[in-house]
Amino acid sequence: MAPDTSTATDADALAALADIERLGTQLRAARASIGKVIYGQQDVIDQTLVALLSGGHLLLIGVPGLAKTKLVETLGVVLGMEAKRIQFTPDLMPADILGSEVLEESDTGRRSFRFIEGPVFAQLLMADEINRASPRTQSALLQSMQEKHVTVAGKRYDLPAPFHVLATQNPLEQEGTYPLPEAQLDRFLLQIDVGYPDEAAERQIMIGTTGATTAVASPTLTPTDLMAAQALVRRLPIGESVVDAIVKLVRAGRPESSDLDVVKQRVAWGPGPRASQAFMLAARARAIIQGRLAPSVDDVVALAGPILRHRMAVNFSARAEGITVETVINQMCARLA
């Protein structure tokens, strides 16, 4: 006679529900704490939390003065993570990021090499103006972003857990910059375009940041809480209809498999499998942030821009006609509605 597993299954479901509700409470507290310092960027805050809950890296693009750096600093405080910052410049070398070996001599005269860790050994790494460094230096982050360890002089060094790279990029000043290669862009879970605040938020910024005292964020989670939340995101059920929508959307962005004329004729290259993986994780994380127990097709549509805009490129004829990647993504999403 087969054992009755219904009781155990119900208990597991109730435990998962309690974990999700507890995480939702923690996330609401985190959003409120970040909102004390960052004004009028709620969508950016939510998408940043989506990336962290999904265990991914984040690329923030916006003009100067939109609190991109401040957001990363605030996240380090709210999440209790060890945060470090690298200002990328044209003369930055890979050793300035990863660290290097130095030759030391002991009191007995014996010489040996000692590895000195670079700033990449942090839980939250801010890569400020990442496109200002040379391709050689940019590539130093590739292994750490994908494999969570670095190799120096043939020896492996594991990075702290959790490990997240939050990079910023200025879209205006293109003198002396090196565009990120497609392989590195693909390693960012989301690309968030940070826009100008609305009028009410700008009033808050003017008043809140120029007085005798300024607001300070308070810790609401720990790195251990974040890793537990990332494990919970992967346990969240996802419906077959959402999976079908993700597959349909990603494949519609590839000129080789798309049945959309604008993609066939105007897209140079489309998203790879990492885009599908990003949708699966980010849709779950967004559902939890919004207090829902399962993602929907609406989550897929809402995340299409941040997930796909850096994983696709239009060709020369599209640029000549004023067709952008956003235009193509909007047409792709219209078919899911």
Structure tokens at 189: 């879970």
Total-model pTM: 0.87
Rounded mean pLDDT of 245-251?
Answer: 93
Q: How far apart are CA 308 and CA 282, in angstroms?
A: 12
- 46, pLDDT greater than 70: yes
Q: How far apart are CA 47 and CA 33, in angstroms?
A: 16
**pLDDT category of residue 10 using cuts at 50, 70 and 90:** low
- 291, pLDDT greater than 90: no
**pLDDT category of residue 244 using cuts at 50, 70 and 90:** very high
Q: What is the sign of the dihedral through the CA atoms of 309, 313, 319 and 322?
A: negative
- 63, pLDDT greater than 90: no
**pLDDT category of residue 198 using cuts at 50, 70 and 90:** confident
Rounded mean pLDDT of 155-183?
Answer: 83
Q: CATH 3.40.50.300 spans which residues of the chain?
A: 12-215
Strands 99-105 and 149-152: unpaired
pLDDT at 31 (0 to 100):
87
Nearest to 90 by CA among 173, 185, 194, 163: 173
Q: How far apart are CA 47 and CA 114, in angstroms?
A: 40
Three-state secondary structure of 226-266:
HHHHHHHHHHCCCCHHHHHHHHHHHHHCCCCCCCCHHHHHH
CB count within 10 Å of CB 135 equals: 11
Structure tokens at 72: 């990363």
Rounded mean pLDDT of 116-126?
Answer: 90
- 232, pLDDT greater than 80: yes
Asked whether 128 and 138 are in contact (CB, 8 A), the reply is: no
- 289, pLDDT greater than 90: no
Q: How far apart are CA 217 and CA 37, in angstroms?
A: 6
- Classify domain 12-215 at the CATH topology level: Rossmann fold (3.40.50)
Task: Give how far Cα 177 sits from Cα of 90, 132, 195, Å.
Answer: 8, 4, 21
Rounded mean pLDDT of 159-172?
Answer: 87
- Classify domain 236-336 at the CATH topology level: Helicase, Ruva Protein; domain 3 (1.10.8)
Rounded mean pLDDT of 114-129?
Answer: 89
pLDDT at 1 (0 to 100):
47
Q: Enumerate residues 6+ apart whose C-beta is below 8 A from 240.
A: none
Rounded mean pLDDT of 6-17?
Answer: 65
Q: CATH 1.10.8.80 spans which residues of the chain?
A: 236-336
First and final CA of the chain: distance in angstroms? 48
